[in-house]
Amino acid sequence: MNPASEDAEASPPRRASIAKTDKGRWERLWPVIACGAGLFSDGYLNNIIGPVNTMLKKIYPDAYKNSSAQANVSSITFAGTVLGMLVFGYTSDHFSRKWSLFLSTIIIILFAALGSGSYGAGGSANGLLAALVAYRFFLGIGIGGEYPAGSVGCAESTGELKEGTRNRWFILFTNVQIDLAFFISAIVATIVVVACGENHLRAAWRICLGIGILPPLSLMYLRIKLQEPEAFKRESLAHTKTPWLLVIKYYWVRLLIVSIIWFIYDFSAYSFGIYATSILANLLGDSAPLWKSLAWNILINFFYMPGCLAGAFVADIPVMGPKRTLALGVTLQGIIGFIMAGCYPWLNKPENVAGFVVVYGVFLALGEFGPGDNIGLVASKTCATGIRGQYYGIAAAIGKVGAFAGSYTLDSIQKNASDEIAAGRNPFFVASALAFFAAGLCFLLPDINQDTIDNEDLNFREYLSQHGYDTSKMGLEGVSVSGVSVEGEKVEGKVEGA
């Protein structure tokens, strides 16, 4: 039997859980916050570019006309994010979770600052857009590090929390942070445009981007204090050779399934989020002021919040868990998407913009309830700690390729549609069909419970040992692990030096 298809909880724990430490509640919880909350930067800096792009299109209509400027400015961050996920996935596993995360924070702060101050060569629009594209690519590299270093560290840190709450805490400080940032960015864009006035959009878009420096700065102190997670101290492969062939044989099936589901989710979530402002602007008409479409965008982004908060608590219900919550979310999202496509001729009328926003908001909320909340959780808990950063980084990178592809695909679908109605409805047909496909893939994944990280590490150690790999060198210096069954022997579990 292929080990990758076996249930992640096949073997019972034979050593002390990482939750059995002498740490107080706050001491256990703040690493979860420090590691995961940096994804607020991802949500803000990716979503704010939607309103910014709409402003730039109004300021520089000639530069945007018949060019790929809109897609480049919107999507280039995803390209950098893919590179960052792969690079930091490696450094997170082979060097340090903490310092990989700290470096990614520095990169985000630096290039968010440079992007907000972009100036074109000689003041030209094309030069400005080229500079902005370059800065946002490097910004994406920093954002990419938040996933295999930050989210992975967050998942490992939740293993020290109270049983029955671990999934929700991971979600509350990863995907909920992204969605909260989406909502906040929509409010910020509206307030800035109203405050600056629509005759001063050159200042408005720079202010919107510049505010993105504040979230990563607010986490710097916590991240300096951060220690490596207990699971990483036990199971790291940083000081020994990674058995790549055994890793691939054991995990390739799971990794492929998780990656495809993440691709489909990001294809829909990020591309629809980026174009929400422009969709509304087209719906309201050219005569409507920009602030009006931005204000409606606040309501659209608000719908992310009930979806992601509900999913966080449902994922901890034993009969549901992350896998079934994910499947339920994408199935319902697919149904709503087809309804939107069928009703689009009516929803497309300016007098029905409220109906459009509500139905569209429910579509987005279900995406967050299911895959938005749970795909990162599934990715972080269906593999062993020693290769978790790279496993997570690859899956997340493929997801961001989906976001990158979705942005260009949506732009192409809209530009090549036969009429205005087709331009609006066709993206929902595509997204809904993909959602049903993702729902089917969910049932090929193993179940995930509260002790999955402990159990997955034990199963993987035993698998490596059975294939002749020396597991005694796993873990960081000064940390010894007992209680692992190696070649049929069981010993009582404890962690020393952690």
pLDDT score, position 9: 42
1 in a domain, yes or no?
Answer: no
pLDDT on residue 300: 80
Q: Name the band, by pLDDT with cuts 50, 70 and 90, for residue 383.
A: very high
Can you tell me the distance from the alpha carbon of 269 to that of 306, in angstroms, rounded to the nearest whole number?
Answer: 16
The answer to whether residue 226 sits within a structural domain is yes
Q: CA–CA separation, 369 vs 315, rounded Å?
A: 9
Model confidence pLDDT, tens digit, residues 146-190: 999 999 999 988 888 888 889 999 999 999 999 999 899 989 999
- Which of the given ranges, 253-257, 417-421, 485-489, has the highest pLDDT on average? 253-257
Residue 270 in this model has a pLDDT that exceeds 80: no
- Give the residue-averaged pLDDT of 343-367: 81
CA distance 38 to 52: 22
Nearest-5° Cα angle at 427, 424 to 430: 150
- Structural domain contains residue 29: yes
Residue 2 lies in a domain: no
The answer to whether residue 276 scores a pLDDT higher than 90 is no
Is residue 498 in a domain?
Answer: no
| Mean residue pLDDT across the chain | 82
Instruction: Quote the pLDDT of residue 43.
Output: 87
What the block records as the tokens of 378 is 């599934």
Q: Which residues of 370-409 are buried (b: 16+ CB within 10 A; e: fewer)?
A: bbbbbbbbbbbbbbbbbbbbbbbbbbbbbbbbbbbbbbbb
Summarize the confidence of residues 194-201 as an average pLDDT.
89
Once rounded to an integer, what is the mean pLDDT over residues 239-245? 91
Residue 312 or 418, more confident: 312
Please name the residue ranges forming H helices in 303-450. Answer: 304-314, 321-347, 353-367, 373-381, 388-416, 420-442
Residue 368 domain-assigned? Answer: yes
Pick from 273-282, 329-338, 418-427: least confident: 273-282
pLDDT at 198: 84
pLDDT exceeds 60 at position 495: no
| Whether the Cβ atoms of residue 313 and residue 165 lie closer than 8 Å to each other | no
Helix (H, G, I), strand (E, B) or coil at 358: helix
Is 256 within the bounds of a domain?
A: yes
| Burial of 45 from C-beta contacts in 10 A (0-12 / 13-18 / 19+) | buried
State residue 491's pLDDT score: 35
270/375: higher pLDDT:
375
SS3 state of residue 494: strand
Residue given tokens 């109203």 in the structure block: 194
Residue 134: CB atoms within 10 A of its CB come to: 16
**Res. 125: pLDDT tops 60:** yes
Which tops the pLDDT comparison, 193 or 428?
193
Which helix (DSSP H) or strand (DSSP E) does residue 251 occupy?
helix 244-284
Q: What is the pLDDT of residue 238?
A: 87
CATH number at residue 90: 1.20.1250.20
- In percent, the amount of the chain with pLDDT more than 70 equals 85
Q: For residues 455 and 449, give the distance between their C-alpha atoms in angstroms, rounded to a whole number.
A: 10
Q: Is residue 4 a part of any domain in this protein?
A: no
Question: What percentage of the chain has pLDDT greater than the value 90?
Answer: 37
Using a cut of 0.85, tell me whether the model's pTM lies above it.
no
What are the tens digits of pLDDT across the range 90-111? 999 999 999 999 999 999 999 9
The number of domains in the chain is 1
**Among the listed ranges 156-160, 292-296, 376-380, 393-397, which one has the minimum average pLDDT value?**
292-296
Tell me which H or E stretch contains 452: helix 452-466
Domain of residue 99 covers 19-487
pLDDT of residue 485: 38
Q: How confident is the model at residue 298, as a pLDDT?
A: 86
